[in-house]
């Protein structure tokens, strides 16, 4: 059975997007070879990606472009190669390579994907999916990349969750650019 892993950037004050839905704060000019190698290595992994509509449209508007191939060739190759699932009630079709549209019940669809997949599935962005799947116990790991930025306002990746979810820290990693990766698993 596949594991479902969430990977999201957050600010020091806990936001994963600014008040306008933007994430430009997560892409700083300061280069860090170790961090860049971490990103490139993650892009080479096998498995699948799971997106909500908003994140899918954002990713599909950039990663298949010549600009993405020029700016981030390793990441672009991985993003375009990987199998992608997009959950949407409003989209009728998807055009990005290796993408399948899911329209059924989110929890049911994710349970089926986890049972049928041999490789892990990663959620990037897609806070509404995270907030819906976490209470159902369908997320196996939360990888949170804390960025040394304070926004003061924005949206958390758990907006809409009604109940507390206990998690336990399973690993950490600090990078020279000030980012810190915190990985958590559900406590129960």
- pTM of the predicted model as reported, rounded to 2 decimal places: 0.91
Q: Is 141 helix (H, G, I), strand (E, B) or coil?
A: strand
What's the average model confidence in pLDDT over 131-140?
96
4-186: CATH superfamily: Dihydrofolate Reductase, subunit A (3.40.430.10)
Residue 56 pLDDT more than 90?
Answer: yes
State which H helix or E strand residue 116 sits in: helix 106-116
pLDDT tens-digit series, residues 75-106: 899 899 999 999 999 999 999 999 999 999 99
How many other C-beta atoms can be found within 10 angstroms of the C-beta atom of residue 106?
19
* pLDDT of res. 37: 81
**What is the pLDDT confidence band of residue 32, given thresholds at 50, 70 and 90?**
confident
* Residues constituting the chain: 188
Instruction: Write out the DSSP string of 57-114.
Output: HHHHTTTTSHHHHHH-HHHHHHHHHSEEEEE-SS-S---STTEEEE-S-HHHHHHHHH
Nearest of 29, 28, 10 to residue 150 by alpha carbon: 10
Q: SS3 of 171, please?
A: strand
At 185, is the pLDDT very low, low, confident or very high (cuts 50, 70, 90)? Answer: very high
pLDDT in tens, 148-170: 999 999 999 999 899 999 999 99
Is the pLDDT confidence value at 44 over 70?
no
């Amino acid at each position: 059975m596949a594991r479902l892993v969430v990977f999201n950037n957050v600010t020091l004050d806990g936001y994963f997007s600014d008040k306008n839905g933007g994430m430009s704060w997560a892409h700083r000019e300061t280069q860090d070879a170790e961090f860049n190698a971490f990103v490139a290595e993650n892009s080479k992994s096998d498995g699948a990606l799971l997106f909500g509509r908003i994140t899918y449209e954002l990713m599909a508007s950039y990663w298949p472009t010549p600009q993405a191939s020029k700016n981030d060739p390793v990441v672009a190759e991985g993003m375009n190669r990987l199998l992608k699932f997009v959950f949407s009630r409003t989209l009728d079709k998807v055009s990005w390579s290796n993408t399948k549209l899911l329209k059924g019940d989110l929890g049911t669809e994710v349970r089926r994907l986890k049972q049928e997949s041999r490789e892990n599935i990663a959620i990037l962005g897609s806070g509404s999916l995270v907030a819906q799947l976490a209470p159902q116990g369908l997320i196996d790991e939360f990888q949170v990349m804390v960025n040394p930025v304070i926004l003061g306002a924005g949206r958390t990746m758990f907006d809409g969750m009604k109940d507390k979810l206990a998690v336990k820290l399973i690993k950490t990693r600090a990078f020279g650019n000030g980012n810190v990766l915190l990985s958590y698993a559900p406590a129960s």
